[in-house]
Amino acid sequence: DGGITQSPKYLFRKEGQNVTLSCEQNLNHDAMYWYRQDPGQGLRLIYYSQIVNDFQKGDIAEGYSVSREKKESFPLTVTSAQKNPTAFYLCASSTSPSGSLKTQYFGPGTRLLVL
């Protein structure tokens, strides 16, 4: 089945630790995105990538880093510089980052908690 997978489902981070969230898609989509969602809040864009080996900062990129070495994969690293990382992290993909449709499809998400 085609889709987007994220792992792990739950992740615990200790103070000062970097953690990496996985996102893989087999939809052959060009564009991939990372969002953060806090309780009662909307989705906020962290990073996005339109093509392999290229990515752009979103609205809240500080304390996060990404890579896009393969079309299928867009891992997100939450660094120790991110002081309030507890949130629900959602990865999404779309066929194209441009055009009038640009529908995005989401993975099941990763919940990150700080110990």
Interface contacts to other proteins, rule CB under 8 A:
33, 35, 40-43, 45, 48, 50, 58, 88, 90, 97-109
Dist. CA 29–CA 12, nearest whole Å? 30
| Closer to other proteins by Cβ: residue 80 or 88 | 88
| Closer to other proteins by Cβ: residue 30 or 80 | 30
- What are the CA-CA distances from residue 13 to residues 17, 19, 27, 58, 85 (Å)? 6, 7, 30, 23, 9
To other proteins, the closest distance from the beta carbon of 74 in angstroms equals 14
